[in-house]
């Protein structure tokens, strides 16, 4: 274990205030009475920072935020005790809504585009990245309007020049533009990987082949592809490792991928082997989907899940 606790800096350009609630039935034009309402600070990197903090890691959440909803987001992070640095913007931070229908178990997610950032605002966000040699920088989430698609590539180049490990979890053109610019760990979902390669990947062999190709083509040093309830695959120069997801009752998938990434990065930052870090990620993802709200986990619950996974793995290899 490192003598100095590793600090994981997260960078979120399009955060959100997440509202989650439950209703017996969701029907058009009817007034829907909800219950089990939860409000969380959200957005990819914000969720990662929250989970790292919950697991006992040292973190700093850097995010853009504006107007009354931006102040509310900042207050929610303060309430959660997450160290943070807010980059002020003129636009209003978006609000996302998730509704769970009890009778069907379906989850309905409404995710706005978010504000438009000026050139000065996104430049300020880029300048807010620490110049010191932090252990890991995690850039996660969608881009706000008017932010150039190459901004994650620029952040990756900056991190590499500063000796920082750079982790990226995004999609679309921003993902494509960042490949090959010094990414340590890339985390696409299966759908994002399929979009990237331009075809469906229905079988494990095809999924593993494309993930490994990204590593060998220099897109990233490691690629971890989340597969939902099928688990995840991790590709590196050592080859491809596939792990099954632990069984879990699904209540909400919101932020589960962020919880997975947070636990995996924290384990890597603490010196864990990649396959061990993968199990930490799967454990945190399983805990997140079993809860209600965005990426809500506890350290004790994740540690129990991880211990069960390692016991099962050891029994399978005996």
Please list, in sequence order, all residues whose beta carbon lies within 8 angstroms of the beta carbon of residue 206, skipping any fewer than 6 positions away.
none
Residues in the chain: 318
Helix (H) or strand (E) holding 49: helix 44-54
Read off the tokens for 209.
């082949």
Distance CA 263, CA 283 (A): 8
Distance CA 181, CA 161 (A): 11
CB atoms inside a 10 Å sphere around CB 287: 29
Distance CA 183, CA 137 (A): 10
Distance CA 136, CA 240 (A): 23
* Structural contact between residues 309 and 244, judged by C-beta atoms closer than 8 angstroms: no
Answer yes or no: 258 catalytic: yes
Beta bridge partners of 38: 20
**Chain Cα centroid distance, residue 269:** 16
Helix (H) or strand (E) holding 213: helix 204-216
* Structural contact between residues 17 and 39, judged by C-beta atoms closer than 8 angstroms: yes
Helix (H) or strand (E) holding 167: strand 165-169
Kindly name the residue from 40, 74, 258, 276 that is annotated as catalytic.
258
* Structural contact between residues 126 and 137, judged by C-beta atoms closer than 8 angstroms: no
Distance CA 257, CA 226 (A): 7
Provide the annotated active-site residues. Answer: 258
């Amino acid at each position: 274990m490192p003598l100095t606790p590793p600090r994981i800096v997260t960078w979120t350009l399009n955060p959100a205030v997440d509202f989650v609630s439950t209703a017996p039935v969701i029907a058009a034009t009817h007034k829907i009475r909800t219950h089990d309402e939860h409000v969380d600070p959200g957005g990819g990197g914000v969720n990662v920072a929250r989970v790292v903090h919950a697991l006992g890691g040292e973190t700093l959440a850097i995010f853009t935020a504006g107007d009354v909803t931006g102040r509310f987001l900042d207050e929610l992070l303060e309430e959660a005790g997450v160290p943070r640095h807010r980059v002020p913007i003129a636009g209003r931070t978006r609000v996302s809504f998730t509704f769970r229908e009890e009778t069907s178990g379906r989850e309905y997610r409404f995710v706005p585009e978010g504000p438009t950032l000026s050139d000065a605002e996104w430049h300020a966000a880029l300048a807010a990245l620490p110049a010191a040699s932090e252990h890991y920088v995690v850039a996660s989430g969608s881009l706000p309007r008017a932010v150039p698609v190459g901004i994650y590539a620029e952040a990756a180049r900056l991190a590499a020049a500063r000796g920082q490990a750079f982790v990226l979890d995004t999609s679309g053109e921003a993902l494509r533009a960042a490949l090959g610019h010094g990414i340590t760990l890339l985390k696409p979902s299966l759908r994002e990987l399929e979009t990237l390669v331009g075809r469906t990947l229905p079988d494990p062999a095809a999924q593993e082949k494309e993930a490994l190709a990204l590593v060998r083509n220099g897109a990233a040093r490691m690629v971890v592809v989340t597969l939902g309830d099928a688990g995840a695959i991790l590709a590196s120069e050592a080859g491809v490792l596939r792990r099954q997801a632990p069984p879990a009752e699904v209540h909400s998938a919101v932020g589960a991928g962020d919880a997975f990434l947070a636990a995996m990065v924290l384990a890597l930052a603490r010196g864990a082997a990649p396959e061990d870090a993968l199990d930490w990620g799967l454990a945190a993802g399983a805990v997140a989907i079993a809860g209600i709200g965005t990426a809500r986990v506890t350290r004790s619950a994740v540690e129990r899940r991880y211990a069960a996974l390692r016991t099962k793995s050891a029994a399978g290899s005996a």
